[in-house]
């Protein structure tokens, strides 16, 4: 019997992302909003600056009067938050500090270094230019202006902008609630002195970390033994937890102990995809639980157990899924960066390959990339030392050093 063809990565990704819709909105205080995705545009509640203000310490003057050598009477002072009450009259200057309102009647600022104070007067040593050193009212943004669009992920500097708009909270999409189920009789938690034939549970840290950095709330749902009844019971318990996403690790392949796909199906999941033309990560599966006793829809992603495969699949599939679920704009799946091969590479087979690689230099800003000599999907030491994944398309011919290539930079 002919083997069924493996699904191309792009097709699988498109299927997964097309299933994902944004979670409902909630309002959060600004100091809890870093990394959250806006569910509504941010509209300024004030105009900033609210008045014309000085960009420098110096004197507010009428430009036409403040010619070289002019001596003007210092009528008063305007500091940030304490404006000068009057209007500048002919022959007058007002002492100004950075951020202070420029008084009515003044149309230029002469910086302190270009003046000489003579008691209650000031001598102008550099002729003023109208408009010079004045920040116009509304020059930054105006009341009613949209400063950030819906779907934008809030960065540190965006929070400052929102605050400056006189807003203390924002409307963002709820974080996806994600549960991680690990499978395997051999797994032991770190720090407990596991025996040589046992394997330390490590996938939850890489996969959970990718998920947290993508905005999810992550719960460790424990380790399941390789038995059908236990696997089904674990999946059932995970369903009770009201998750948006259930991620399993291990038991995804074809061995006698690989029970995850049949257990998920038996518990009512509709698996859209199982097995992808991908290396590492061939046995990846995903689908959904919907309806039934549980009103909420839960996405399910079954990751391969090999640690590198689990991590790469988390980057390729879980991260964009979580970002889509938070309503983030512009999430189209693969986000590859152009690079250049630093060494020759062999022809590829039918699986799209994501090779652990190092950036060994740059030419005109473009990273020069060399795949690591060993590409074993169990080896975390090599993964940790990698800077990027070098992407080799299915059936890509051999390529020489100096040829262009694509990489997925590893940032977490
Ligand atoms: N006959 C075939 N064998 C395999 C195939 C295949 O197509 N035909 N695919 C291989 C590929 S590719 C992968 S990837 C693995 C994935 O298999 P599973 O998802 O079933 O993973 P396990 O067998 O459960 O575990 C594999 C390996 O990873 C270790 N592991 C599992 N979970 C964790 C964890 N949470 N933390 C750390 N390490 C973990 C586990 O101990 C095993 O050593 O299948 C190939 N086989
Ligand atoms: O596809 Mo598996 O993920 O190579 O080890």
Q: Name the residue with the closest Cα to ligand 2, atom 4.
A: 280
Closest ligand by atom to 307 CA: 1
Structural domain boundaries of the chain?
9-23+175-325, 33-47+141-173, 53-135, 337-409
Give the pLDDT confidence score for residue 294 in this predicted structure.
Answer: 57
Cα(385) to centroid(ligand 1), Å: 22
Cα(301) to centroid(ligand 1), Å: 15
Contacts for 250 with CB less than 8 Å, ≥ 6 apart: 182, 183, 184, 187, 203, 260, 303, 304, 305
Cα(282) to centroid(ligand 2), Å: 5
Q: Both tokens of residue 55?
A: 């960009």
Q: Which class for 63: exposed (0-12), middle (13-18), buried (19 or more C-beta within 10 A)?
A: middle
Q: Name the residue with the closest Cα to ligand 2, atom 2.
A: 280
Closest ligand by atom to 304 CA: 1
The CATH homologous superfamily for domain 9-23+175-325 is: MoaB/Mog-like domain (3.40.980.10)
Pocket of ligand 1 (CB under 6 A): 182, 184, 186-187, 199, 201-203, 249-255, 258, 280, 282-283, 304-307, 309, 377
Low pLDDT (below 70) residues in the chain: 1-2, 291-296
Cα(201) to centroid(ligand 1), Å: 13
Q: Which ligand 2 atom sits nearest the alpha carbon of residue 282?
A: 1
Give the pLDDT confidence score for residue 333 in this predicted structure.
Answer: 81
Closest CA to 221 of 178, 188, 180, 186: 180
Q: Let me know: does 329 contact 151? Beta carbons within 8 Å.
A: yes
Quick check: ipTM above 0.85? Answer: yes
Distance, in Å, from the CA atom of 412 to the CA atom of 10, rounded to the nearest integer, reads: 23
Q: Both tokens of residue 3?
A: 């083997």
Distance, in Å, from the CA atom of 100 to the CA atom of 407, rounded to the nearest integer, reads: 50
Per residue in 220-269, pLDDT (tens digit) is 999 999 999 999 999 999 999 999 999 999 999 888 878 999 999 999 99
- Total residues found in the chain within this entry: 412
Closest ligand by atom to 256 CA: 1
Give the pLDDT confidence score for residue 62 in this predicted structure.
Answer: 97
Give the pLDDT confidence score for residue 254 in this predicted structure.
Answer: 81
Give the pLDDT confidence score for residue 91 in this predicted structure.
Answer: 97
Q: Name the residue with the closest Cα to ligand 1, atom 25.
A: 305
Q: Which ligand 1 atom sits nearest the alpha carbon of residue 186?
A: 41
Mutate to test the pocket of ligand 2, among 282, 285, 315 (most ligand atoms within 8 A of CB): 282
Cα(376) to centroid(ligand 1), Å: 12
Give the pLDDT confidence score for residue 256 in this predicted structure.
Answer: 82
Cα(202) to centroid(ligand 1), Å: 13
Closest CA to 301 of 395, 315, 293: 315
Cα(236) to centroid(ligand 1), Å: 23
Closest ligand by atom to 199 CA: 1
Give DSSP secondary structure letters for 310-345.
Answer: HHHHIIIIIHHHHHHHTT-TT--S---EEEEESS-B
Element (H, E) at 359: strand 352-363
Give CATH for domain 33-47+141-173: 3.90.105.10
Q: Which ligand 1 atom sits nearest the alpha carbon of residue 258?
A: 20
Q: Name the residue with the closest Cα to ligand 1, atom 41.
A: 199
Are both 9-23+175-325 and 337-409 of the same fold? no
First vs last C-alpha separation in the chain: 42
Give the pLDDT confidence score for residue 274 in this predicted structure.
Answer: 83
Pocket of ligand 2 (CB under 6 A): 279-282, 304, 306, 309, 377
Q: Which ligand 1 atom sits nearest the alpha carbon of residue 182?
A: 35
Architecture of domain 337-409: Beta Barrel (2.40)
Architecture of domain 53-135: Beta Complex (2.170)
Q: Which ligand 2 atom sits nearest the alpha carbon of residue 378?
A: 5
Contacts for 72 with CB less than 8 Å, ≥ 6 apart: 59, 61, 65, 66, 91, 92, 93, 121, 122, 124
Give the pLDDT confidence score for residue 255 in this predicted structure.
Answer: 81
């Amino acid at each position: 019997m002919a083997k069924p063809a493996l699904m191309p990565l792009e097709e699988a990704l498109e299927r997964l992302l097309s299933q994902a819709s944004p979670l409902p909105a909630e309002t959060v205080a600004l100091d809890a909003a870093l990394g959250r995705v806006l569910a509504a545009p941010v509209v300024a509640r004030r105009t900033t600056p609210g008045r014309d203000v000085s960009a420098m310490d110096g004197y507010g003057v009428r430009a036409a009067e403040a010619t070289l050598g002019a001596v003007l009477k210092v009528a008063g002072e305007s500091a940030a938050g304490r404006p000068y009450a009057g209007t500048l009259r002919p022959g007058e200057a007002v002492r100004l500090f950075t951020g202070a309102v420029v008084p009515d009647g003044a149309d230029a600022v002469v910086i302190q270094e270009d003046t000489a104070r003579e008691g209650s007067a000031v001598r102008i040593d550099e002729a003023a230019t109208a408009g010079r050193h004045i920040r116009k009212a509304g020059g930054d943004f105006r009341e009613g202006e949209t400063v950030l669009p819906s779907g934008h992920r809030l960065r540190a500097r965006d929070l400052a902008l929102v605050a400056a708009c006189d807003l203390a909270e924002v409307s963002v999409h709820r974080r996806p609630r994600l549960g991680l189920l690990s499978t395997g009789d051999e797994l032991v938690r770190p720090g407990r002195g596991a025996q040589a034939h046992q394997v330390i549970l490590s996938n939850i840290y890489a996969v959970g970390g990718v998920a947290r950095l993508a905005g999810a709330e992550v719960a460790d749902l424990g380790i399941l033994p390789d038995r059908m009844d236990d696997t089904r019971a674990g999946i059932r318990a995970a369903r009770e937890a009201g998750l948006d996403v259930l991620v399993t690790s291990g038991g995804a392949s074809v061995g006698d102990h690989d029970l995850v796909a049949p257990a998920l199906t038996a518990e009512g999941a509709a698996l859209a995809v199982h097995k992808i033309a991908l290396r590492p990560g061939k046995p990846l599966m995903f689908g959904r639980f919907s309806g039934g006793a549980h009103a909420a829809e839960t996405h399910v992603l079954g990751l391969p157990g090999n640690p590198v495969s689990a991590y790469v699949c988390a980057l390729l599939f879980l991260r964009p899924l979580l970002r889509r679920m938070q309503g983030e704009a512009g999430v189209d799946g693969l986000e590859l960066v152009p690079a250049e091969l630093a060494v020759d590479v062999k022809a590829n087979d039918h699986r799209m390959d994501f090779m652990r690689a190092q950036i060994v230099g740059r030419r005109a800003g473009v990273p020069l990339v060399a795949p690591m000599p060993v590409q074993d999907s169990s080896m975390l030491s090599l993964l940790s030392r990698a800077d990027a994944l070098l992407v080799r398309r299915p059936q890509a011919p051999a390529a020489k050093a100096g040829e262009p290539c694509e990489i997925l930079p590893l940032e977490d």
